[in-house]
Amino acid sequence: MHPPREHRILVSTSTPMSATAPPVLSLNAVSKDFHARGYGRHGGDVLRAIDGVSLELRDSQTLGVVGESGSGKSTLAKLLVRLERPTSGEVSFMKNSIASFDAPGLKMFRRHVQMVFQDPYSSLPSRMSIRQILTEPLIIHQIGDQASRLERVRELVDQVGLRSSDLKRYPHEFSGGQRQRIAIARALMIDPRVVICDEPVSALDVSIRAQILKLLHDLQADRALGYLVISHDLRVVRYLCEDVAVMYLGRIVEQGRTAGVLERPAHPYTRALVGSVLDPEMATVAKTRRLSVLSGQIPSPLDRPQGCHFHPRCPLRSKLAEADQARCVTERPGLRALPDGRHAACHYAEKVLEHDRPHAPTDVVAGAG
Ligand SMILES: Nc1ncnc2c1ncn2[C@@H]1O[C@H](COP(=O)(O)OP(=O)(O)O)[C@@H](O)[C@H]1O
Ligand SMILES: [Mg+2]
């Protein structure tokens, strides 16, 4: 007996975006602690990688998550696909807690939420041919028969820019960029609603990053996929995502439309991130806005500063009156809505925006690191 044939995967589906539809994926006040065993004087301490994050991803939405290395981005991705469990808070798929899913529920969830990892060298099974790698998801989810599966495999191989003759080859025969194309095809085989991409081009040669980004962009546009794109590189998120969340030490510090947030950041951390990009177009933004570059290291999540986590590195703080500066040290700013609809977690976000006016004093510009 043939498994039930699924038609959905054979036609490109596009779900109309609706603000009233429930989010496909959501995090509600999620925190994640790790035990930092054997970390020097901190051995046995608890490391909070994610700290009370709430986030929603809707159908067709392209949401980027940016922040320096160590800010908790990969942990966030793992929580979203249940590779990690939250210490507190809830991750939901279509309003259902993913922690409660039984085996069939989890299978359905995995069908709709796929992931593309950073490293295409370790993420593909070495002993399987490309054809086997791409057919496997269809078999697991009992989609189609042999002929329609092969048809689907050929279709995807073509869409990601590989050739049918590549199907009999093995991952080690391909370059990093081609492997990432295979990983992307595999993620799309079962027509998911959401693809989570964790640093999708960071492990690739600089020369081929643009091609893979274009591929990701075109695939999203064609099928109205939801994307959650994680990157330490603002340019990746600017290219792929309409919305952005900026993370610092496990918290979201700014969130809104990518264009608005990057063009005129409301959080000093976002300003500094934008100021640190060495891309000509963004450098122009940085110059006209007189942004400082980011100085110093991100603190260890084991030694998180009091009050605003960013205050020891904050270029704005020294420009505030002393009484105002004290607040940054004592009071943790929550994420709050600003008049343009974005959210920022800075007591002085309005001042940051005002700072961007042409007569504002020039920031100290340290060497880009
Ligand atoms: N399994 C783990 N055990 C202990 N600490 C971890 C583990 N995974 C991540 N961390 C720590 O959590 C913090 C966030 O890491 P990660 O989510 O990988 O950040 P990012 O992807 O933004 O670089 C880091 O300090 C990292 O060392
Ligand atoms: Mg990471």
User: For the sheet containing 336-337, what is the strand order?
Assistant: 113-116, 194-198, 226-231, 62-66, 243-248, 251-257, 343-344, 336-337
If asked whether residues 192 and 65 sit together in one domain, one would say yes
Question: What pLDDT sits at residue 262?
Answer: 93
- Residue 71 Cβ contacting ligand 1 at under 6 Å: yes
Atom of ligand 1 nearest to the CA of 76: 17
If asked whether residues 227 and 176 sit together in one domain, one would say yes
**Tens of pLDDT, residues 161-194:** 999 999 999 999 999 999 999 999 999 999 999 9
If asked whether residues 236 and 308 sit together in one domain, one would say no
Q: Which amino acid is at 171?
A: P
**Tens of pLDDT, residues 201-253:** 999 999 999 999 999 999 999 888 999 999 999 999 999 999 999 999 999 99
If asked whether residues 140 and 60 sit together in one domain, one would say yes
Using CA positions, which residue lies closest to atom 2 of ligand 1?
34
Atom of ligand 1 nearest to the CA of 67: 22
- Residue 47 Cβ contacting ligand 1 at under 6 Å: yes
- Residue 353 Cβ contacting ligand 1 at under 6 Å: no
- Residue 49 Cβ contacting ligand 1 at under 6 Å: yes
Q: How far is the CA of 75 from the centre of ligand 1 (A)?
A: 6
If asked whether residues 97 and 168 sit together in one domain, one would say yes
If asked whether residues 232 and 193 sit together in one domain, one would say yes
How far apart CA 274 and CA 292 sit, in angstroms, is 9
Question: What pLDDT sits at residue 296?
Answer: 76
If asked whether residues 198 and 229 sit together in one domain, one would say yes
Q: What is the mean pLDDT of residues 133-149?
A: 96
Higher pLDDT, 189 or 20: 189
Atom of ligand 1 nearest to the CA of 250: 14
If asked whether residues 29 and 137 sit together in one domain, one would say yes
If asked whether residues 284 and 235 sit together in one domain, one would say no
Q: How many domains does the chain have?
A: 2
**Tens of pLDDT, residues 192-215:** 999 999 999 999 999 999 999 999
Instruction: Note the Cα 28 to chain centre separation in Å.
Output: 17
**Tens of pLDDT, residues 301-343:** 888 899 999 999 998 888 888 988 999 999 999 999 999 999 9
- Residue 69 Cβ contacting ligand 1 at under 6 Å: yes
Kindly state whether residue 61 falls inside one of the protein's structural domains.
yes
Kindly state whether residue 164 falls inside one of the protein's structural domains.
yes
Using CA positions, which residue lies closest to atom 16 of ligand 1?
72
Kindly state whether residue 362 falls inside one of the protein's structural domains.
no
Kindly state whether residue 337 falls inside one of the protein's structural domains.
yes
Atom of ligand 1 nearest to the CA of 78: 17
If asked whether residues 154 and 114 sit together in one domain, one would say yes
Instruction: Note the Cα 144 to chain centre separation in Å.
Output: 32
Question: What pLDDT sits at residue 356?
Answer: 67
Total residues found in the chain within this entry: 369
- Residue 80 Cβ contacting ligand 1 at under 6 Å: no
Kindly state whether residue 361 falls inside one of the protein's structural domains.
no
Q: CATH no. for residue 129? A: 3.40.50.300
76, 113, 130 from 125: Cα distances, Å: 24, 20, 9
**Tens of pLDDT, residues 71-124:** 999 999 999 999 999 999 999 999 999 999 999 999 999 999 999 999 888 889
pLDDT at 41 over 60: no
Kindly state whether residue 38 falls inside one of the protein's structural domains.
yes
- Residue 301 Cβ contacting ligand 1 at under 6 Å: yes
Question: What pLDDT sits at residue 130?
Answer: 97
Question: What pLDDT sits at residue 233?
Answer: 92
Q: How confident is the model at residue 12 (pLDDT cuts 50, 70, 90)?
A: very low
- Residue 31 Cβ contacting ligand 1 at under 6 Å: no
If asked whether residues 158 and 270 sit together in one domain, one would say no
Q: Domain span at residue 272?
A: 261-355
pLDDT at 359 over 50: no
How far apart CA 93 and CA 100 sit, in angstroms, is 11
If asked whether residues 171 and 63 sit together in one domain, one would say yes
